[in-house]
Structures are given as structure tokens and as C-alpha cells.
Amino acid sequence: MRLRTLASRLALPLLAAACQSPVRTVPPPAEAPAELVALSGASILIGAGDIARCNSPADEATAALVDSVLRADSSAKVEDAVFLLGDNVYPDGTEQDYALCFTPSWGDSAKRIMSKVRPTPGNHEYETGNAEAYYKYFGKRAGSAGKGYYSYDLGEWHVVALNSEMVVNRSFTDLDRQAQEDWLREDLKASQKKCTVAYWHHPLLSSGWHGSDSRLGGFWRILYEHGVDLVLVGHDHNYERFRPLSPVGVADTTAGIVQIVAGTGGGGLRNFRNTIAPHSAFRLQGYYGVLKLTLGAGEWRSAFIDTNGTVWDPSGGKCH
């Protein structure tokens, strides 16, 4: 176990944990066969959010899981990438936090993660200045320093990484927010791919501890207008999948976007609220793990894989 050199680094996380009720664990299902998350000829996008802590082995366990998938992909010559959904290291996203907590797990050079990583920032990255340590650590893979939004193609899919701190953090201006939205419209307009997945940190919809945040509706409207299929988010430390929805939260099986929360990379787990958000299709609490997406030509499949190797919530759909 890695220990911080300063006792104060442990005080806040332990205090926060003491104020929360014990996390209730969902009883495990019969293990799903691996073929439920496979799709012939597809690329793989795998990852999670809310990841590295120095006082827990959970991030090492999720990192080992991701690395094992990447090694299998390499042997099978499958194109893949690793997404990070923000709050990549605790508690403050400093250079020391990244060096002591993230590097020994997801940042370990012996693993294949860093060669495949495509990160986004969360609120903990911005606990230290303008997330300078985050941009320094990930370099060009994090997009332009101070902006943090970018896109790339993966197989048959277009992938968009956004900076939700620009939406919820008051240190950003209306001009900053408008610039990201303008960029997003142009990026989606220029894409030649039929299928698109976007990801960032804060959820529009959530039954978790933080709950839903309507401020992300601006992203959702733009994505919906351009036929985006999937949204991946973190921030709440559990797993939750929603049915396809329109920007106003109405079920839409024709053009709706499926949102999946996967804040399960190693940060302390939390329970769901007593009131469940509308259109929540599947919820899982009490397990660390990663979300694996299999992205094919015109369709996708997803599953949550916990650190014991159990496959949960195999799902999927067709692109718009």
C-alpha cells in the first residue's frame, strides 16, 4: 500500500468517509459469458472515472483489469483506447498526487494504459490552480492546456472528450463556455463517422450522491442535434445506465442518447440516493470496476466488469 508523506493528505478523505453511511453491495448475478460483450471486427473503448488514491489498493485492481484487456486486444490486433472520466487522482490533482498515487496504478509504465489513454479533467483536477498538473502529466493527450476538449476517431466511431468544469466551475467565463460549445458543433459537423460517443466528468442524470446536474443540458442538446449515440460520465462513485433520452429527459428510442455513469475506478464508493432518477435502467453500487465498450460498424455493446471479473449489465444498441 502506498502512503502519503504528509498525514494531512489522509485527513480529509478519512473524515469524509466517516460522515457517509456504509456502502451497500448489490448481490452478484450469475456471471455473464464473455461473448455478451464481444462484437466481431469492433474496436474497444475501456475506462472509468474517479480513480487513484494513495490509501487504497482499488485503483491498482482496476488498472490491472484495464491492462489485461489491452494486452488481449493487442494479441488479437484490436484497435482500442482508454478513457478517463475525470477526478483521475485524489485529493487535489497536484503533481505529487499524480506521482505518488496515479503513476503506480493507471500510470505505471509497465502497463499499456498510458500509451492508450485519452483523459478528461474533473473537479479534483481543478483543486490545484487551472489543473496545471493534469495538463503537464498527460501532455498533448489532454488537449490544449486550459481547454481540455478534443476528439479522435476509433475504428468506425468518432469520440469526443469534453471539459465539464467549463460548465460548472465559476472560474471559467461565458466566453470559455461558448468557445467549447462552438468547437463541439463544428467538430460534430465535420465528422464522417455514423456513430459517436462523448465523455466528460459531471453527469446530466444521476441517482448517485451528487445527483443530476441540469447545467450539462447544453452539451446534451448539441449532441442530440448531431445524432450522438452514447455519453459516458463519472463524478458519482457507482455505476448507472440510463435509457435513451432526449435533451428534455423524455424517453426517445429513435434518437435518444444513452448515458452511462462509471465513477468506479478506485475512489471511495458511495450509495445511491433513496429517490432514483427518472429513466434509470440499471444501477450497481459497492463494486470497483471499469466500463468496456465494444464499438462496431453501426452498433455498440457495453458491460461493466468488476475487479473480481464479474460481468454486469451487458447492453447495447444501434447507432442513429
Mapping DSSP to helix (H, G, I), strand (E, B) and coil, where does residue 9 land? helix
The predicted pLDDT at position 37 comes to: 56
Q: Give the CA angle between residues 299, 302, 304 to the nearest 5°.
A: 175
CB contact at 8 A, 70 and 112: yes
Distance CA(113)–CA(126), nearest Å, equals 23
- Per the CB < 8 A criterion, the answer to whether 292 and 302 are in contact is yes
Query: How many C-beta neighbours within 10 Å does residue 177 have?
Result: 17
HSE-CB for 253 with a 13 A CA cutoff: 1
pLDDT for the residue numbered 265? 98
**What is the rounded CA–CA span in Å between residue 66 and residue 61?**
9
pLDDT of residue 1: 42
Whole-number Å distance between alpha carbons of 244 and 302: 14
Domains along the chain?
Answer: 37-318 (3.60.21.10)
**Low-confidence stretches of the chain (pLDDT beneath 70):** 1-21, 28-40
Q: What pLDDT is recorded for position 61?
A: 98
Please give the distance of CA 196 from its chain centroid, rounded to a whole number.
15
Q: How far is CA 294 from CA 37, 57, 212, 263, 312, in A?
A: 7, 27, 27, 19, 14
Give the ranges where 92-247 is alpha helix by DSSP (H). 95-97, 113-116, 132-138, 165-168, 174-190, 217-225
Reported as a single tens digit per residue, the pLDDT across 228-247 is: 999 999 999 999 999 999 99
Of all residues in the chain, the percent with pLDDT exceeding 90 is 84
User: Quick one: residue 148, left, alpha or beta (phi over 0 = left, psi -120 to 50 = alpha)?
Assistant: left
Residue 3: per-residue pLDDT: 41
85-110 pLDDT per residue, tens: 999 999 999 999 999 999 999 999 99
Q: What is the pLDDT of residue 21?
A: 65
Q: Are 195 and 229 in contact (CB under 8 A)?
A: yes
